Amino acid sequence: MESSILTALLLPVALGVIMLGLGLSLAVADFERVAQFPRPVLVGLGCQMVILPAACLLIAEAFGLPPELAVGLMLLAASPGGATANLFSHLARGDVALNITLTAVNSVLSLITLPLIVNLAMSHFMGEGRSIPLQADKVIQVFAIVLIPVGIGMALRSRRPGVAERLGRPVKNVSVVLLIAIVAATIVKERDTLLGSFQEVGLAALAFNLVSMLIGYVVPRLVKIEKRQAIAIGMEIGIHNGTLAIAIASSPTLLDNSAMAVPPAVYSVIMFFTAAAFGYLVNRRP
């Protein structure tokens, strides 16, 4: 999965537009409510950092994945949610303020949890330990793509609410079109590689994706967290930052193993379809 103009330039630009649209729909009061009710944040972090890696380990073992692919799947489980999770949460009527909070907190905590989980996975599946310090610029990229456009959108809504109201729907529509175009272009460009990869790890990646969303939605509902916040947690945990995982797996200064990038690449294609289905199902009316 080599870098291209699609992943290096167009995807960040598209995500920036997406986050701008989300910012236009948010107010400071949304974050104040999250701060006043921290339980959903703690539940989301618990699902992300404790339950999810354990579930991923069981799935890798159950499907008998080769060691490098198993580590790649664990790498994905350890990666924080991406900006795309915020978009799908927005479309599924989830609590986007909670999504952004979880993305920000997870991105910082992943400096510790990601190397720990991946090193334990390498020791378990490959019989070796190896330090993989996460480069700070990757975390900065997550913050830049998520927080700066959101901040601009929120500022516009605060100071020019009429303009923000008129821009909200067009920007949201453009966001969806851009996302669909990027997914389609990626599938066409990498179709040969992805076809072979699906045969190796497709079912395991699908199972992990479904389990991730199930954990992210059902666990919060079991502890009496409201539906909008459960949807947000489900999207945050079910849609991982596959680009970050691929970069860590492929980077010569980190894992330097292209095979470990295969599960995140396959997952990154699958999750768009399952996230759309998940959003539809949780919003069906009786």
pLDDT digits (tens, 9 = 90+) for 191-207: 666 666 677 788 999 99
Q: Is the pLDDT of residue 277 over 80?
A: yes
Quote the pLDDT of residue 244.
72
Do the domain assignments include residue 194?
yes
Rounded Cα gap, residues 211 and 215, in angstroms:
6
Helix (H, G, I), strand (E, B) or coil at 115: helix
Do the domain assignments include residue 262?
yes
Do the domain assignments include residue 73?
yes
Cα separation values, 210 from 128, 144, 171, 180, 207, Å: 30, 29, 29, 21, 5
Do the domain assignments include residue 222?
yes
Rounded Cα gap, residues 132 and 111, in angstroms:
10
Do the domain assignments include residue 236?
yes
Do the domain assignments include residue 171?
yes
Could you give the number of structural domains in the chain?
A: 1
Quote the pLDDT of residue 217.
92
**Which CATH number does the domain housing residue 250 bear?**
1.20.1530.20
Do the domain assignments include residue 285?
no
Could you tell me if 151 and 158 are in contact, meaning their C-beta atoms sit under 8 angstroms apart? no
Of residues 180 and 54, the one with the higher pLDDT is 54
Do the domain assignments include residue 286?
no
Note if the pTM is more than 0.75: no
Helix (H, G, I), strand (E, B) or coil at 27: coil
User: Tens digits of per-residue pLDDT, 38-48?
Assistant: 888 899 889 98
Q: Please give the residue range of the domain that contains residue 211.
A: 5-280
User: Tens digits of per-residue pLDDT, 162-192?
Assistant: 887 788 778 777 776 766 666 566 566 656 6
Quote the pLDDT of residue 2.
44
| Closest residue by Cα to residue 174 from 279, 17, 24, 26 | 17
Helix (H, G, I), strand (E, B) or coil at 81: strand
Rounded Cα gap, residues 95 and 87, in angstroms:
11
